[in-house]
Structure formats: structure tokens, C-alpha cells
Structure 1
Amino acid sequence: MSPSPPLDIVEGVVHQLYHLCIADLCPSQHYCSLSAPCRPALGALAPFLRLRLVSSAWDELVTNLRRDEAARSPFFAPVEAGVYYPHKWHINTRLRQAVVLGRYRVFRTINSEQGDRGVYVAYDLENGCAGAPEVILKAWVDAADFELKNEDDAYAMLEGAHGIPRALHAVRWDRDCDVHVLPLPKLGPTLEDLVEVLPGRRMDERMVLTVAIQMLDRCREIHAKQIIHCGIKPANVCIAPRGSGDSKDMLYAIDFGFSISLAENLPMPSPKRTDAVGNRRFMSVMAHHGISQSQKDDLESLAYLLSFLYHGQLPWDRRALARTASTASRASSSSQEVHQPHMWRLKIATPASELFCDMDACFFDFWNEVKGLAYGEAPDYAKMTGWFKARLEGEPADWWSIWDHCGEDA
């Protein structure tokens, strides 16, 4: 039996073959990593990786080289600069230290709250880095986070529902990043984004009527699955992705982190009060008190959304600003603390004539119908949708056309 070649010669062969493979791969065109190469990269690295089969000594050299290269540069190509959060525990840093779940490469943060949960845009490298589609990742550090469970359960229950994005798979834990991840398809801009580029930052009647019709359909789909959204607001409604084949007026409902199962509370509200969670500007009056929500509460939030889109603000936004200025004035002339009223009091004190000022009578009819619903009562969605469709003249709003036109003017 011939003697084994010296270790330095073997190591030289390993390094030479590795660099030949990397040169053929063109690393600058790949967003994956040595520890999680995409399919084309794995094919290019195959000759190098086969060295592991020669002997345990060769396997150790290959493993060490991959580990050293990954430590120096975890990714073949950079996707952004200056994004690493200075604290290692922060979820932004965690998600950017490896290819998440061996498939997703994060490149932009949408939102990261207190460092323990966040929403991100990532490339899906499942079929290779070239032309990789963009996806949304929702991530949590704590496996017991109530939003994680709500989102995971809701998307599973709503699978196949029209106007609800379909999760690419259930929440999974990534060992390298130590985070729990839910991947979702990337949709178009939110209504919050759209309002920002509109003239006067408000919608015209045709746009608001289109939103009303679309969102009543979304509520009907969600409620039919015995889920209450509990978070209807401009940032949680998205335009359909461009080129998706959806109708031009299509809207998607997203973010089920605060959702609840209606079946757990019927036929009566739960006697257990909970902390009020969600956007206080758009939540129902009952939600402010932590009382169990039902279909009625989602539709109340929808009414506030329609008012906001048409006027560019809500009545309690104006009152809060006025009272803040008044409070500051009085506080400067008196040492006694001045308390502002709770927002739910402002909502109760706001008449429909102010909430839907200058809006069509169909919005008043909708509001009266919603306020007359009992807890858990199934709304007559067809009747309410009919009111808005009867008032809509011509074609519904074409969201991407509006976005492109206003984006050019902005």
C-alpha cells in the first residue's frame, strides 16, 4: 500500500480545488453562503464537497476550510451596507448572520420592535440566487410570543381564503439565527403607503368606495373562518402584487398578530378582560376596555378606516392635537397636572355626522348597521356591500395605476 501524501500537499489540493470552484461559481452573483448554498451553487461546489468522501482527514480539511471561509465572509455577495445592529442579541443582527432556514436572505428591515420581533424583506433562494423572488419574513425571538401563535394559527385557518396571503410554510425555528420565522409572499404597497403619495394625503370617493367593497369581502372571508382580525388599519391592507393576475381593485388583509378565535367566546363574550392591544386610533370602543371582540368590532374599525382615508385624519386626531395644545398652555400657567380624556371617550362623543362629514349617505347606513349589531351576530355583508356598489359609478379604483401616477408626481 502506497504511503499517504503529506498533509501540507493534501491541504494545498483542497484549497486549490476550492478556489477553482469558487471562480467558476462567480460568488459576486450569489447571495447564499457556504453553509447554505443555493442549488446552482451546490452544483458548482460538488467537486470540492466530494473530497469529504476520500478519508476522515480530507473531510476535516474541507470542513475547516468551509468554516473559516464562512466566518470571514458569511455570504458570497453583499446585499446592503451598514445594517447590522450593534447588539448581538438584537433580532436584526441575528437574522443577518446566516441564510435563514437555509433558504432566505434578509436584505431590508420593515419593522423591528424592541429587538425581539420584526418584519423583513428577504430573497427566496430556493431555486437559486439569480432572479430570486422577494418574500416577507415575520420573525420572533421568543417561541412563546403571543403574536407568533396568533399569526401561525390564523394563516393555517385562513389558507385558501380569497384576499389573504398564503404562508409559504408554518413557523419554523432557525438554529443558526435562533429565531422563529414565518415566510409570506410579498404584496404591493399598503394603503398607508398609498395615502402618503396621494394629493392632500387623502382618497377621493371612488377610491374609498372601492376599499369599502373590497374590505367587506375580506371581513366576510375572515369571519367565515371564525377569526376576528382585531387590527384593521391602513398599514394592514395591501394592494395585490403587480402582475399577480388579481383584479385591478384587489386588496389583501395582512397581519393577524392580534387576531382571536371567535369560536372561543361564542355565544357570549369572555368574562376575562385583557389588555387593550392594537392601534388605538382604529380599534373599536369595546377593544379599548379589553372586552372580547366579534364581527361588529372589525366592522367598526373598518368604518374608522374609511373615514380616515376620505378625510386624511380622524376626528379624535384633531381633538387630540387641540387638547394637547390647550393642555400645554394650561400646564405652563399652573403647577396642577392636567389630564387628557381617553381616546375611547372621544370616539363615543363623535357623532356620525362628524365621522362621515361630506361623505355619501351609504357610509351613514353602514355605520348604523354596524352599531346595531349584537355581539357575535353575523352581519349582512351582501346588503352592506350592495349599498357601496350602488353608489360606485364607473369602474372601481385601479390601485397600481394610481400608485404609478402619484408616485411620478410625488
Structure 2
Amino acid sequence: MEPSISNKYKLGPKIGSGSFGVIFHGTDVLTGEEVAIKHEHVETKHPQLMHESRVYKILQGGTGIPNVKWSGICGNKLSLKSVLMLADQMIDRIEFVHSKSYLHRDIKPDNFIMGRRSKDNEVFIVDFGLATKYRHPSSYNHIPYRENRNFVGTERFASKNTHHGIQQSRRDDLESLGYVLIYFLKGSLPWQIKAATQKKKSEKVREIKDSTSFEDLCHGCPIEFACYFHYCCSLHFDTKPDYGYLKRMFRSLFSREGLKMDYVFDWTILKYQQSVLAAPPARALGHVAGTSTQETHVAANYNRQSGGEERSAGRFPEQKSVAKVSAVSKDAKLSSSKPMRQPRDLPIQASASNRCKDTLVLDKSSPSPETIDANPKAVQEIQTELKNSSIVSSKARAHLLVGIVKMYESFIKSFKSMSLSNGENFQH
């Protein structure tokens, strides 16, 4: 997942640093605008960034004063959908490690990474530097229960028993995973604090963990997360966890929320938005330079009848010259069409005809032109020929040209009669 700030700005390379923060190059995810991002760690002893942002806002509008786009605390929250899809795989990874008689003992967000390319939806578990065996690999005899053990792991995500010096077992890895999931959902944990020394910080973290009930910790989250913690803490030291039960519980929540297991994570959407911004803008369908809405309708109608020979989206084929009808007015005149070039044989593809249909749907709201009658038999023969062949045959092209000529003659007659009845001159 690419780093971002509040899902609004993509974090780029570092461009500077000082005593009170680090400055990065950034890009607005939606507009592509380049910005500078000043970052200050949330646990800085003497934070100044929020004060600085207030000063910027007071000075805003002055010559030579940067414009502040956004300021705040970035918690990197994830949606419930992403957290549940991650949880399903993370429980699987921990179960596999345990099946090989090992404990991880350092479950935290940094030790789970996403794959790349064909495995970009797959969660990997890493960093086994603190891993240790909890049972004999062949006899499966569990290690004995012990107390007064040295602390091993990361304080923010370690289990309560680990803080109290109790020997770790499988239940502790799962409890740590629970803290990771809540961290993903809320963006922070209650015991993320500052202290004068590391020893005082460790003591304070332990006190807050002990005094925080799982209901308070999971406040605002679905009840399944509190149930997860209660289950993990109910396990005896050497009890094998029911990993399947935990996965079923989260999958049930997933279904109840009406979510879809499509592996579209929050960062998948972010990457898609960035790719759309990076792609060149598509040429709009509908109005073409020098043509009216009515003219576009006629061209689209002809394009559909001819089998969609042109493959380029957003423009009509050059060889399909159509009588140009200017916007409805009293002084309307018929411009002469260009000679039609011999069309090349091109395969008929569903995508081409679909584009024509899309064009017609998009233009439905505009006034439709007067219908021009063509030879029904010729049109029927063209459609039959196109359906029975993947290549536009010479016979189909001949019928096509005849049909266009008749359409053109019919239009000339109707327009001429209309002009003469109004007493207006007609030139051809």
C-alpha cells in the first residue's frame, strides 16, 4: 500500500528535514496538484506543527505566504471491509506458523505486508527474529507454564500476560492480532502515550491496558471484535485455539454488513484513482467539431447500420460521410457530402457495436432528427450479411452504398419540397 495522508495526498520522496519535522513531496490524489507535506511524529516531546498551521491560517492571503490545504492528525484508518478481509488471511498465517510448532511473539502491523503483481491481494507474515518453539515438533509436548519472564515483543501490541511476565503461548499471538485489527479500524490505541523514560512508558502502557475493558477498547466497532478478545483471553495456557471459529465469526459479520469478498482494499481504490488521473483524457462522444447535435444523431444511426466498421472510440469514421444538417433554423441549408472512400475490410467486434449503442444512449436527451426512410430490403440484406460473416464482404459494401445513396436522395427530396413550399430558394 502506497503511503498517503488522510487518503487525500499521496506521500512522495523526502525533500527536507529539520529539528521539528520532515518535509515530503506530495500529490493530491484527485487533482494531481503537487504539494509539500510537513510531517511531525505524534509522539514528539515538543509538538509544534498544529501551532504552525494556526499561524499559517492567520497569515493566509498575504503575498509570499503558502496556502495551507489541510492540517490534522493522520491515523491511517482502514474501512471495516478491508480490516475483515485482512483478518481472514492474518488468522490463517498465524495458524500456519503455530502448526509448525512456533510462536511469532511480535505480531504488529509492520510484520504483515502485501504481495506484489499477481500476489497483490495476498497477505504475508514476516520478521521471525523473536519466534520460538512452544512445543516439541515430534512429540507435541507443550512447554511448561512460567512466570517472571522478560518482556518480548512490541509494547503497543503485546498481550496483557506478556506485560506481566507470563510465558507466551498461542493465545498471546492471537490477542496481539486483535490489537492490530482495532488499530486498523480506529487509527490508534488508548495506550499510545508519551513518557519521560522508557521504563515509565512501559509501566503506563501496562496500567492502561489492564484498566481498559475490551468493550471500551472496541467501542464503536462491531461486537464481534470484543467477542474475539474475550475468546482469546478465555483460553488456557496450552489450549489450541479454534482458528476456524474466529474466521467464521468475522465472515458472518462480513455477510451481515452486505460486503463483497472481492479483495478490493482501500489502497486498491486509491491506486485506481491515481491511475485514472495519470491516464490521458478520453475524447468525448457526442458533439464533433463542425457538426450539430442532429448531425451526430444521423452519424450514429448510420454507424450502427453499417456494422460499426470504425474501431476508434470517440470519433466517427472518415469514410462514412453524412449529409450535414445545421442547427434547426429558417435559413438551414444542406451542405454537400464528400465522396465516400472505399471502406476497408475490418473484423466485426461486439465492442464496436457496443460503442455505437452507448453513443445513442448518451444522446437520447437531445432532440432526435427527422427519420429518413431507407430501403428496408437493402438494410435487411446488410444486417443478414454482417451477422453471417466476421468480415464485411463486397456484397455488403455494395448494398451499403446503395442504401446510403437512397437515404441521401430521399432526404434531398423531402428537404426540397419543404423549402419550395415555404417559397425559399434551394441550392444543391
Shorter-chain TM-score: what band?
0.3 to 0.5
- Structure with bigger RCO (C-alpha 8 Å, 6+ apart): 1
Structure with bigger gyration radius: 2
Task: Tell me the TM-score normalized by structure 2.
Answer: 0.41
Q: TM-score, normalised by structure 1?
A: 0.43
